[in-house]
């Protein structure tokens, strides 16, 4: 009997040790959410005590008055998943992120003009769970508690797959999560145990325009309809050889992006490859696709050019496109962006069909 008891105690100790090790490894299932018996997600409580990772906004003013998400998004992640992210650089099963929607309020403050938060107007959540969402891409599901009529709803039903997953799959940097827009998450990714990123004195040096730096190599010796070298490309643009492209706009139109300044005139030219691909409605455009955009001042004088050229068959989240913008027709060094994988370019262009935002056919 004593021998059996010892075996039981030993087994319990082994299981306890195994459980402890799993918890240390970040594998223990800890849920910060609850579903009711109807399969609806109950609105999470106390989420502001979780890890706050950032507040992006895409205001109407910068999106031709038609921003898909014009409000501020306060984003929180449950603390266990954040710890797991810091150690492993991946999102654990049972991760939940909360997105708190806040309206854009005043645009004037003592410090100057800007975008300042107004009122709380909504709440959304996303959950990763193999058990609950085995058939959803990445096992992620998306929920909303927003009630346009007033108070938040007590429960939320999962959105249909095509309402959220496709955009996250195409543009999010890490497992359907837009970590590229949250430096708190970028800094914490896989830093390991015993490391607290915010305690580091390390900060990025140089210009705050680092989002316009290339993040991927530009392939060499490509035979395209225009050169990609800085000097050669500028010479090509000055020569206006792109005007030989058969598909071009007949007149200027107001820019819908931040080229020079939102709303200033631009004019688009497309080569044969991108034209044929657009006509076919391809989801991904072929290597060699090229678009040149002339940019103008308020008085319609030429102020520079923006160029995008597909340098490989796969888009690879924007890395497969070469991006270029020069803000002067006389100074080749007035470069706003040049190279592949320029975050400031592709993050805006992701809403287009394979990065192309121009209306087609060109008018």
Q: Per-residue pLDDT tens for 211-248? A: 778 889 999 989 999 999 999 999 999 999 999 999 99
pLDDT at 28: 57
CA 309 to chain centre: 21
Please report which confidence band the pLDDT of residue 318 belongs to, taking 50, 70 and 90 as the band edges: confident
pLDDT for residue 205 is more than 90? no
CA 277 to chain centre: 25
Alpha carbons 294 and 291: distance in angstroms, whole number: 10
Alpha carbons 263 and 327: distance in angstroms, whole number: 16
pLDDT at 131: 95
Per residue in 114-165, pLDDT tens?
A: 999 999 999 999 999 999 999 999 999 999 999 988 899 999 999 998 888 8
Domains identified in the chain and CATH numbers:
28-199 (3.50.70.20), 210-349 (3.50.70)
pLDDT at 10: 40
Per residue in 167-198, pLDDT tens?
A: 888 888 899 999 999 999 999 999 998 889 99
- Cβ neighbors of 338 (< 8 A, separation 6 or more) are 214, 230, 323, 324, 325
Structure tokens at 157: 């039903």
Q: Provide the 8-state DSSP code for 134.
A: T
Alpha carbons 104 and 60: distance in angstroms, whole number: 10
- For residue 206, what are the CA distances in angstroms to 74, 203, 210, 213, 340? 28, 10, 8, 11, 20
Alpha carbons 32 and 46: distance in angstroms, whole number: 10
Are the beta carbons of 322 and 309 closer than 8 angstroms? yes
Alpha carbons 88 and 91: distance in angstroms, whole number: 8
Alpha carbons 244 and 358: distance in angstroms, whole number: 19
Are the beta carbons of 189 and 174 closer than 8 angstroms? yes
pLDDT at 350: 82
pLDDT at 345: 87
> Which residues pair with residue 74 across a beta bridge?
100
Per residue in 39-93, pLDDT tens?
A: 999 999 999 999 999 999 999 888 778 888 999 999 999 999 999 999 999 999 9
């Amino acid at each position: 009997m004593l021998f059996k008891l010892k075996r039981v105690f030993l087994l319990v100790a082994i299981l306890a040790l195994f459980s402890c090790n799993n918890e240390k490894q970040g594998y223990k299932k800890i849920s910060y959410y609850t579903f009711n018996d109807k399969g609806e997600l109950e609105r999470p409580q106390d989420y502001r005590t979780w890890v706050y990772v950032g507040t992006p906004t895409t205001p109407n003013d910068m999106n031709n008055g038609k921003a898909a998400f014009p409000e501020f998004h306060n984003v929180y992640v449950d603390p266990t998943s954040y710890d797991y992210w810091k150690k492993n650089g991946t999102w654990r099963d049972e991760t939940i992120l909360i997105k708190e929607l806040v309206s854009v309020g005043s645009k004037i403050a003592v410090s100057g003009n800007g975008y300042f938060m107004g009122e709380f107007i909504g709440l959304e959540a996303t959950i990763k769970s193999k058990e609950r969402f085995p058939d959803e891409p990445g096992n992620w599901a998306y929920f909303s508690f927003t009630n346009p009529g007033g108070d938040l709803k007590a429960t939320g039903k999962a959105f249909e797959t095509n309402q959220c997953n496709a955009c996250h799959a195409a543009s999010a940097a890490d497992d359907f999560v837009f970590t590229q827009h949250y430096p708190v998450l970028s800094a914490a990714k896989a830093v390991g145990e015993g490391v607290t990123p915010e305690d580091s004195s390390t900060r990025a040096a140089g210009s705050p325009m680092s989002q316009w730096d290339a993040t991927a190599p530009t392939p060499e010796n490509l035979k395209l309809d225009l050169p990609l070298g800085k000097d050669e490309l500028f010479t090509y643009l000055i020569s206006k050889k792109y005007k030989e492209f058969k598909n071009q706009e007949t007149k200027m139109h107001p820019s819908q992006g931040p080229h020079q300044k939102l709303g200033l005139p631009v004019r688009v030219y497309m080569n044969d490859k991108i034209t044929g691909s657009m006509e076919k409605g391809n989801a991904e455009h072929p290597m060699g696709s090229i678009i040149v955009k002339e940019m103008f001042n308020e008085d319609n004088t030429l102020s520079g050019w923006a160029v995008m050229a597909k340098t490989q068959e796969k888009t690879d989240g924007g890395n497969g496109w070469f991006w270029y913008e020069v803000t002067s027709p006389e100074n080749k060094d007035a470069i706003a962006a040049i190279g592949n994988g320029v975050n400031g370019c592709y993050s805006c262009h992701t809403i287009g069909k394979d990065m192309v935002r121009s209306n087609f056919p060109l008018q």
